[in-house]
Amino acid sequence: MPFRWEPSKGFFPSRDELRAAKLRFARRVPERDPRYAKTGSVPLSVSSFARWHVVAFVVAAAGCAAGAPSPKTPTPENPPGALAAPPRVIRVDPMSGGGAIKPAGLAALEEELQRGMKELGGKGKPPPYYIAYEIHDRNDVTVAASYGALVQSSVRRARILDTDVRVGTYKLDSTHTIRSNDFDFSSVTGGHPVALPLSDDANALRTVAWRETDHRYNDAAERLVKIRTQHTLKVADEDPSDDFSREKPASYLGPPATLSIDLPAWEARIRDLSGRFRGQAEIQDSGVTLQASSLTRWLVNSEGTVVQTGRNYVRVYIEANTRADDGMELERFETFDAATVDGLGTNAEMEKAADAVITDLRALRKAPLADPYIGPAILEGRAAGVFFHEIFGHRVEGHRQKNEEEGQTFAKKVGEPIMPAFVSVYDDPTLSRLGSADLNGFYRFDDEGVVAQRASLVEDGVLRGFLLSRSPTRGFAQSNGHGRRQEGRAIVSRQGNLVVEPKRFVPVSELRDLLRAEAKRQGKLYGLSFRDISGGFTNTQRGGPQAFKVLPILVYRIWVDGRPDELVRGVDLVGTPLAALSRIIAASDDYQTFNGYCGAESGFVPVSATSPSLLVQQIEVERRDKGNDKPPLLPAPALAPKAPAPPRGAP
């Protein structure tokens, strides 16, 4: 990706930068059956990419018929509706499915780690107290087409080694934050990825690991000197928690990931699907892409942990953009995600999604610009999920509670109400499936070798805890299995599968009636409904405004007088977390999930967020920068609606 911004900078990126760092999410809607059950394990899925605190996603665009008005005015303290059942999920025991044979390459790296720990323990001054190797062995297949023509077909494999060496003690070690007004160039947040041989040649693997262990030890020893010096010159840390927690070693050998793709068949399928955009003069650019990936991960550390896990991901995403007459660029996406090729969906479903993209873009070109607005709004399922991901999920990541550059919005609010009492929130990486959707944030062990666990974050509106890696914080001394990273980055606490679970619900149609009633009570002519959103970002640090911005695409005015919904464009949803969370007044039971990758300090990690539609008492929107470029003066070439078939043997 061409653009990166660091969390420490605390600034908001432009829309062009967000577009460069886009994250696509799943289009598929989980089942809405209120009867839920637990069953056995299923495979998991992975998805695309984004940058720090940037999330782009797609939500359903289905309208809802009006029903009978609610007899009472809902408030956060007095929500309407019946008792709600939790969503139907499949939860996986992280220790299930083990018993595979230890690969020769993993055994060789384990031996080298033990040798390095012994030798440096005797010769190092100071000696290391912890060494870990993590290996990502990834196979990627990409097929892309535009206007009925193939533009990419590639297969790629890579092995990446991350080496972590800690010097000092569990209480104070070489990863401790150096507090300074200057940028800390010795910080380990950038990581040190190194390519490994693709074969299990023991000598080659051990040589690379030996070299990296020596480099990382020298860096850690030098950094510890600076940290100890600073401790004599600076005031005490606000949070005196240890730098690293002691955890039980894990031993698990699951099967490696395998994924079979019929490349010629998928080339034809993606090419045909992209051909639906041929002849659409108003569409400036479009494309359809298949991304398939299998990832086998090895983790071994000096405490005795030895782990092998495998996961697959398959995605098809459809994208297109156009430009309105006033210069505003407009874009739409539809995405299909699954753990297997068979789970992606049918040709008919994908063709319908491509046609919806075309129809929506045509409607957006003609839609009026929205006005700045403060008032009630419905966040439909996936929009609500991303809303919570941005304004809440990032702010309960454990490392933000002890970093003094962070705003620490919730650091001292454990045990206090932070949202309405009918709302609970948890993050559970052991969920492989919710309703009909494979969950992208599923994993068995985090990147520190800690078994994945459910983290109860909010119970009945009261904050109960945080997402924790092996970096302790006030009142929380142990990890709950949320230490995560992209290969090549340092580990911090991150979200996995975030689930918003209201205890009361009303039918979707009644939620619209409640929106109209609340808008009328506030003296508004209409409320808003957010049905599709392209991205979002949030700033959590003290150096800038601790606010969020979500970037909607499909936004409708829901008129109080009952006239048809009106599509508008050019709005951004803005606000601050404490105010936004306190104003949820009603929920439905139409659970929907987005899947994707979220970017933060530790890079891009696969995540999901699930929520039903929510009615919020007050949402603020502002006008978006629309740009000044006119639509193309030169008309698009006249293309036949169907692309000619390629010659036999041609791509």
The four Cα atoms 303, 299, 495, 138 give a dihedral, to 10 degrees, of: 170
Q: How far apart are the C-alpha atoms of 360 and 5, rounded to whole Å?
A: 32
Residue 470: the pLDDT is 97
Structural domain includes residue 490? yes
Residue 76: the pLDDT is 81
Domain co-membership, 294 together with 399:
no
Structural domain includes residue 323? no
- Return the higher-pLDDT residue of 506 and 646: 506
Domain co-membership, 255 together with 388:
no
Residue 18: the pLDDT is 38
**Per-residue pLDDT at 68 exceeds 50:** no
What would the DSSP string read from start to end of 535-581?
A: EEEE--BTTS---EEEEEEEEEEEETT-PPPEEEB-EEEEE-HHHHH
**Per-residue pLDDT at 37 exceeds 60:** no
Q: Which of 52, 61, 46, 43 is nearest to 17 (CA)?
A: 52
Structural domain of 230: 104-313
Mean pLDDT, range 506-524, rounded to an integer: 96
Domain co-membership, 280 together with 375:
no
Of the listed ranges 231-245, 488-502, 637-651, the one predicted with least confidence: 637-651
Residue 647: the pLDDT is 54
Residue 650: the pLDDT is 53
Structural domain includes residue 628? no
DSSP state of 589: S
Domain co-membership, 294 together with 411:
no
Structural domain includes residue 172? yes
Domain co-membership, 305 together with 429:
no
Of the listed ranges 298-312, 399-413, 482-496, the one predicted with least confidence: 399-413
Prior bond to 126 cis, omega within 30? yes
Residue 33: the pLDDT is 34
Mean pLDDT, range 336-350, rounded to an integer: 91
Domain co-membership, 401 together with 262:
no
Q: How far apart are the C-alpha atoms of 118 and 116, rounded to whole Å?
A: 5
pLDDT band at 362; cut points 50, 70, 90: very high
Domain co-membership, 371 together with 306:
no
CATH number at residue 263: 3.30.2290
Structural domain includes residue 24? no
For the chain, the domain total comes to: 2
Q: How far apart are the C-alpha atoms of 270 and 322, rounded to whole Å?
A: 21
- Token pair of 27 as six digits: 């289009």
pLDDT band at 542; cut points 50, 70, 90: confident
pLDDT tens digits, residue range 377-431?
A: 999 988 999 899 988 999 999 989 887 777 788 888 999 999 999 999 999 999 9
**Per-residue pLDDT at 28 exceeds 50:** no
Domain co-membership, 479 together with 565:
yes
Give the rounded percent of residues in the chain with a pLDDT score beyond 90.
65
CB-based contacts of 645: which residues, under 8 Å, 6+ apart?
none
pLDDT band at 25; cut points 50, 70, 90: very low
Residue 540: the pLDDT is 79
**Per-residue pLDDT at 57 exceeds 70:** no
pLDDT tens digits, residue range 238-268?
A: 778 999 999 999 999 999 999 899 999 999 9
Structural domain includes residue 336? no
Domain co-membership, 389 together with 295:
no
Q: How far apart are the C-alpha atoms of 123 and 249, rounded to whole Å?
A: 26
pLDDT band at 629; cut points 50, 70, 90: confident
- Return the higher-pLDDT residue of 400 and 52: 400
Looking at every residue in the chain, the average pLDDT score rounds to 85
E strand intervals along 168-284: 194-195, 251-253
pLDDT band at 66; cut points 50, 70, 90: very low
Domain co-membership, 233 together with 130:
yes
**Per-residue pLDDT at 16 exceeds 70:** no
Residue 181: the pLDDT is 54
Domain co-membership, 490 together with 591:
yes
Q: Which of 383, 408, 407, 360 is nearest to 536 (CA)?
A: 383
Structural domain includes residue 35? no
- Token pair of 388 as six digits: 């919570």
Q: Which of 340, 334, 338 is nearest to 317 (CA)?
A: 334
What residues does 318 pair with on adjacent strands?
A: 288, 334
Residue 202: the pLDDT is 97
Q: Which of 87, 130, 155, 102 is nearest to 385 (CA)?
A: 87
pLDDT band at 487; cut points 50, 70, 90: very high
**Per-residue pLDDT at 12 exceeds 50:** no
Distance of CA 100 to the CA centre of its chain: 30
Q: Which of 73, 196, 55 is nearest to 605 (CA)?
A: 55
Residue 126: the pLDDT is 93
Mean pLDDT, range 336-351, rounded to an integer: 92
pLDDT tens digits, residue range 431-477?
A: 999 999 999 999 999 999 999 999 999 999 999 999 999 999 999 99
pLDDT tens digits, residue range 558-599?
A: 999 999 999 999 999 988 888 889 999 999 999 999 888 888
Residue 635: the pLDDT is 76
Residue 240: the pLDDT is 87
pLDDT band at 79; cut points 50, 70, 90: confident
pLDDT tens digits, residue range 137-182?
A: 999 999 999 999 999 999 999 999 999 999 999 999 999 988 765 5
Mean pLDDT, range 61-86, rounded to an integer: 64
Residue 232: the pLDDT is 76
pLDDT band at 204; cut points 50, 70, 90: very high
- Return the higher-pLDDT residue of 352 and 577: 352
Give the rounded percent of residues in the chain with a pLDDT score beyond 70.
85
**Per-residue pLDDT at 484 exceeds 90:** yes
Residue 190: the pLDDT is 58
Of the listed ranges 18-32, 218-232, 603-617, the one predicted with least confidence: 18-32
pLDDT band at 200; cut points 50, 70, 90: very high
Structural domain includes residue 565? yes
Domain co-membership, 245 together with 386:
no
Question: Would you call 54 exposed, middle or buried from its count of C-beta atoms within 10 A (0-12, 13-18, 19+)?
Answer: buried
pLDDT band at 535; cut points 50, 70, 90: low
Please give the backbone phi and psi of residue 214, each rounded to the nearest 5 degrees, phi first. Answer: -65, -45
Mean pLDDT, range 485-506, rounded to an integer: 96
Q: Which of 529, 573, 577, 580 is nearest to 551 (CA)?
A: 573
Number of residues that make up the chain: 651
Residue 67: the pLDDT is 38
